[in-house]
């Protein structure tokens, strides 16, 4: 698997056209986080440095071919004094596989408040997935070996009344990453697609489903580092008719809410044929 620095290093083909490399993977289709992260990098490269991305909204239109590079076409929708907006289309073989809108904002003074991080075990008190017994290690941990993922056991999650699905995961890069804050934002766009849709299946452990990300929305609230521990607090408010809605709040180690995620995914029953 390529390093995140390689994944997010795009080639500029034209003023607003970029290309991402093909990434070695065990997946049959391109990882959605890769497409979202590369799309955000392409958008970032077309705005002035004093604008910071605060949100993105994307739709996965077709499965990407993991052995082929992806071209990103950036449309400069608006450049204002406080906000800039970009639309990015990811293309393979002449077809759009992903489309994303990203909004950028200059830092302003305003009101401030945030959710409090739920009580959870410290990441050091949880097992690293790579140290589990071989039969318990799934392919996901080998696919993303550069990322330290630590699931909070179900019996140690502080349950919320009326919330049917909860999952909590600590994660961070195993290696130190560049200091550029924008790099960490784009890295989180990559990582935020990991484990979130799987939360919808935690109360259906014996049901085989076909799953895929359908859309992805991400809001950035406060600075963070992706090589420091981040808690992904996940819920799935609803699942039905072959789709599941999932939500995530991301906190840093100090308890600051740094990002929020909403994703809908395909969760239809696996067809026997």
25, exposed or middle or buried, with CB in 10 Å at 0-12, 13-18, 19+? middle
The Cα–Cα gap between 231 and 13 comes to 37
- CATH code for the domain in which residue 263 is found: 2.40.160.210
The confidence band for 96, taking pLDDT boundaries of 50, 70 and 90, is very high
Q: For 209-268, write each residue's pLDDT tens digit.
A: 889 999 999 999 999 999 999 999 999 999 999 999 999 999 999 999 999 999 999 999
Nearest to 51 by CA among 73, 77, 79, 72: 79
DSSP, res 271: P
- 229 and 125 part of one domain: yes
Name the residue range of residue 138's domain. Answer: 117-273
Considering the domain architecture, whether residues 74 and 143 belong to the same structural domain is answered as no
Q: Same domain, yes or no, for 69 and 127? A: no
191 lies in the same domain as 131: yes
Instruction: Give the residue from 88, 108, 128 where a domain finishes.
Output: 108
- Number of domains making up the chain: 2
pLDDT digits (tens, 9 = 90+) for 170-179: 999 999 999 9
Residues known to be catalytic: 193, 213, 263
Same domain, 122 and 71: no
Same domain, residue pair 208 and 272: yes
Same domain for 88 and 153, yes or no, is no
pTM: 0.94
- Let me know: does 27 contact 76? Beta carbons within 8 Å: no
Same domain, 7 and 90: yes
Q: What is the mean pLDDT of the chain?
A: 93
Quick one: 1 and 43 in the same domain?
A: yes
């Amino acid at each position: 698997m390529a390093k995140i620095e390689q994944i997010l290093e795009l080639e500029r083909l034209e003023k607003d056209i970029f290309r991402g490399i093909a990434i070695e993977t065990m997946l049959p289709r391109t990882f959605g986080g890769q497409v979202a992260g590369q799309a955000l990098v392409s958008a970032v490269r077309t705005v002035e440095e004093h604008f910071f991305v605060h949100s993105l909204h994307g739709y996965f239109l077709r499965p990407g071919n993991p052995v082929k590079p992806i071209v990103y076409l950036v449309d400069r929708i608006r450049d204002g004094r406080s906000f800039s907006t970009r639309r990015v289309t990811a293309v393979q073989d002449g077809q759009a596989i992903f489309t994303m809108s990203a909004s950028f904002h200059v830092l302003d003074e305003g009101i401030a408040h945030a959710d409090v991080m739920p009580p959870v075990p410290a990441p050091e008190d949880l097992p690293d997935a790579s140290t589990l017994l071989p039969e318990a290690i799934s392919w996901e941990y080998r696919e993303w070996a550069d990322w330290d993922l630590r699931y909070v056991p179900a019996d140690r999650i502080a349950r919320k009344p009326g919330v049917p699905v909860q999952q909590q995961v600590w994660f961070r890069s195993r290696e130190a990453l560049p200091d550029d804050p924008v790099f960490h934002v784009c890295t989180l766009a990559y990582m935020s697609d990991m484990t979130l849709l799987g939360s919808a299946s935690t109360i259906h452990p014996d049901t085989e489903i076909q799953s895929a990300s359908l859309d992805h929305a991400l809001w950035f609230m406060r600075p963070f580092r992706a090589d420091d521990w981040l808690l992904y607090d996940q819920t799935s408010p609803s699942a039905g008719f072959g789709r599941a809605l999932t939500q995530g709040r991301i906190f840093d180690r100090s308890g600051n809410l740094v990002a929020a995620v909403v994703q809908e995914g395909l969760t239809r029953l696996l067809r026997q044929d």
